[in-house]
Structure 1
Amino acid sequence: LAVLAVLGVLSPTSAATTTPDGKVRVPLKDYLALLETAERVEQQKAEVRAGQEAAVAEVVAQRLAVTVGTSEAVITADFEVVVRGTILRPVFLPLAGLPEKIELREAAGSPGMASVTAAPGGVVLAAPRPGRYSVHVNARASLGNGGGTGRLALGRVVAPVASAEVDLPVDLAWTSPGAVVVEEREEGGRRRVRLATARGAEAFLDVRRKVDSAEAEKLLAQSVVLTILQLRPEGLRRHDVVLYEVRRGGLDRFRVDLPAGLEIEQAGTDEGAVVPVVEDGRLTIHRQRQLQGAGYLVLSSSLPSLPAAGLPLAAVAPEPEVRARYLALASAVAADVRPLPEGSWVRVDVSDLPPTLSEALSALDLTAAWRFGGKGEEARLAVTELPAVPAAEATIRRRDTTTLLTVDGTLLHLDRFTIDSQGRTGAALDVTLPAGGKLWSTQVDGQPVRPLDRGGVISVPLGFSGGVRAEVEVVSVLEKAVPPGRSLLAFELPQVTLPVQLHRLRLLLPEGASYRVRRGDLRFSLDTHERPASVREDDVITVTAESPMLDERRISTGATVTQRELEKIPTARDPWATLQNSPGVLTDRINVGGNESGQQSVFKQEIEGLRQGRVGGVKPLPVAIPEGGKVFGFSGVLPPVRITVELDVKGNP
């Protein structure tokens, strides 16, 4: 019986009941049938793909017929388009002019499901299924300037087989750059021309009036005169620009009649600089090559001063006909400028100058432009210089402020001013302290002085020593209690009446609390370790733009902190603070106390002079200077008179 039990466990029926999870047992016959079905389906799909054509849309033929009239041209275009496969994108057919009538036919001659719509520069064919399509378009286009002559754009040739038939009056001459003349004949007072153009080329038709040989030799040219006046502190600079446009013939020299009293200093043409030669008031410049098309002449002169009766604006007179005359002004001085007589000038925008002139004058900072419509002999320019703004008797070149918040809530303001004045005799610095503020000491060039109190305004005399620069130090204190817990600390700096060019503020806050700058009239700056120093004569104030909203280094996975950046970071001695202030670096934990330890060196540097117990040796300070704290830096160029700072304080400093 035991042997029979073992054989029963090893029987096939028992094995079938233990199929692993995720698998199915099927008979071998059914499995082979499934494989045969899958192979048959894949073979059918491959046969379908092999029978499909590649999606292709091609313009195989392009025929164009142009009939030139008196002011416009009638254009008839026929396109043959072959579509193979399924085309998901429309086919663009280039055409000149404005389409008036569009017809679409398929190969069978009846309209299908395709459609054609007008588009800028041509028409668009949308064909949902394969086939051969014929597109017929009637359009109209203006010819040049509307007088029956000019250039007509015929569009780009996109077909391998393309032809163009032109019908125009026999009294018109024509050219088509890049085209091959297949046939040309005259019938009934009309000229019929058949042209062939290479695929991919832009087709043009130029039409002009026929002239006999005697008339063809005559010069046909026009000019535009632009007078540019540059008002500069050292004098007046005048530039006369003559723009030539030669339509027939050629110019081998430039001849210009100069107004009386105009002396040419420099001259130049489109061929380069030339030496001006003036004889009997006429300037003649011989060209190296004959001018055909567009060219220019530039004449420069200068006047040491402006005449009291106004500047004469008699223009230069070139030999070809002057089509238009303009006046442009570029001024570097404060003056009221008016061209006279006012009825002969029309104010135009600088961008409305002729395109050729506006491109050439893009480098000049033009302030105004006029077009002249009167007689040149009467034109003149009235210039009235505006009165100069009186210079300030004294200015503050630099102001360095150190504001200390002590543990007991007292505010200490230490201001150092670098003052430039026209003369120090009788000059003074007026300072208005904040409400409740008390003046503690003042110094001028390192020497204690006694200020004057003029109705709440502290006046510090600059002394009678030589020179025009003074170094002034003013110390004031203000009782300001900060309530425990979270609160707002807002204070105002002492005000001065003299204009300030550069102001730097360092705010020293005691440890034991967290601070956040809410707002201020000066920009927040990381450069808090800079020590106030005497300003040299070669110091330059540089105005920098705001930082971008997106820091490109911030989006990277890491960043390298250079030695130069380490020197500029206030907490460079603390590694954690270095990482937190470096763009592109994110710490994985909160550094409790690390930020405070990193700022101790900066804090100690700022209060080193205060710890001596005296400011300039005047008298001891009535404040308890904290052992450590944080430093905030602010700076501003041409700051306002009233400067305030607001901070959120959490905790009891």
Structure 2
Amino acid sequence: MVLKARFLLLLFALAMPRGAAAEVPRPEEVVLPVRDYLALIEKGEAAEKERRRRATARETPVAEVTSQRVRVSLGDQDMAEVTADYEVLVQGEPKGPIVLPVTGVPRKAEVRSLDGKATGAALSAGAGTGLWLLVAPAPGRYTVEISGPVPMSGGGVSRLALAPAAAPVSLTEVELPADLAWSAPGTVVVEDRVDGARRTVRLTSRRGQAQTLEVRRKVDGGDSEKLIAQSLVLTLMQIRPDGPRRHDVVIYQVSRGGLGSFTVDLPPGLVVETVGTDEGEVVPAIESRRLTVQRRQQLRGVGYLVLTSTPAVSTAVSAELPLDPVVPQGLPGAVRARYIALSSSVAANVSPLPAASWSRIDLDDLPPVLRDALNGIDLAAAWRLTGAAPDPRMAVSPLPAAPSLPAVVRWRETTTLITLDGTLLHRDRLILRPGAIGTALDLTLPANATLWSARVDDVPVRPLERGNGRISVPLGFDTGKDAVVEVISVQAKAVPKGRSELALDLPQVAVPVQQHRWRLLLPDGAQYRYRAGDLRPVLRPVTAGVVLHETTRRETVSVGPGAAGDQAVWSIDGMVITDMAALGSSPAYYDFDAFKEMTTTLRKDLVGGIKPLPITIPESGKLLLLAGVLPPERIGVELEVKK
């Protein structure tokens, strides 16, 4: 019975469905059907795409004042009615309110959209004096109008301090009685018009620049306020290699009263590029060839106005520059004197025309105010106008350029290597003295020679090949230092084997050479005797009877024999010679030693340089050193060879 009950229990367990035995979800774990899980993923991806789309379409936050117009109306009382109109652009989602600078305490403030509709935008007073805040609920363009009376401070001279300009384009329009004198230092006058008993003045200023309007009554017959001023006019002409430059200088000397602006009439054809005063560089107002500059402060004393222009005349050839002067306006007296000054960095003959109207003066005789204004300028000459000059001009005649010194090679060092297969390698190092360096150095290579590389001051250059072996090595600009030129040429298998005579030619240099030293590296296995050449072997006496197997490199000089007899000891660039016949005085021969040091230097300088040489430099051989002073253009040597 017990076995039967267990068997039935096992069958019942096997017959149960698998879902009934599913595990219970763990804490913070959600079990979803696959269909619901995929739908959830799709919703998340769609939400992420929508977020990215909104971020891309979102505009860059902008909140700024785009234009500003201020109207000031003055009456008979010391009170001004100021109305400011602002145009504000709001784009995107600004981070805060827009700050509007206002003048005084406004009585009325109104804001609306650009189309005239009412909006939810609001104005409120800011934390600082003269600041109001515009809070815009949505992007768009808004117009703001703020107005109110503003008292004017001062006694005899009333002053009105206007708020700084908040927009890049700011216009201030002032209406005042015509019998009032006004000034606004630092602003640019756009218009000054009188209509009956009222005067209208339009001014403009830079963004952030505060404006101060000064108003005073005109007192007729009062000598205490009458302006007394004089002016000096100077035309400074600079003659430069890139062309002439003109500076018109007007010196103002105010003895009584004050000068609030400079006004001059420009001559025909004068295009003013920059304008400066004793207060700095300014932006003038030019209308009908009349230039006006408003000063920040009234001039009481000495001041100046400088107009800079570039005449449309080239001074590379003889020419006449117009000298029609600028004419100061608004002064009670005429121009005190007129001068012309010259500053030139070009060799030329210069004289003002007509000659009878001008008088040459010493530079120290210029008025002190002019000397102070021209301090730091290297003047060459000055003239003063002494008579009528209806058509003043300056005649400029450039002098012919002085001939430059020819290029001179101060030192030439040549190393020639003859390999076992008869290939010739020439390396020329030339040092050109400063001040006599031209644009290029011309050389003529020997017949069948190939240019391998060229360097100037260790910088690789590409010479210009002119045909027939002529090349031009560009030198660049003269830096005031020696220019070192290196030229390497190769003659493949130029020396046949088994010859009893050897004749070699070097590249020809087209400029004079002061000193030349030639190192000739010869193959081993033969004896060589100097026969003839344009350079001579270099000798230096050493102590007799001393045999030097390894010598150090020393400076070589040309001297005569130091001892008599065939066994006198000589040294040629560190090589010991005990047979004078090697110099060509007898038919005997001599093996030149000390080859290793020269080939080591040659390998260090050439192999692995600009490009590898297609030759094998031998480890041993024979060395002959030749030298000369002021050698001819063509350099060669003849040697006798004996196996």
Scaled to the shorter chain, the TM-score interval is 0.3 to 0.5
Q: TM-score, normalised by structure 1?
A: 0.34
Q: What TM-score does the superposition give when structure 2 sets the normalisation length?
A: 0.35
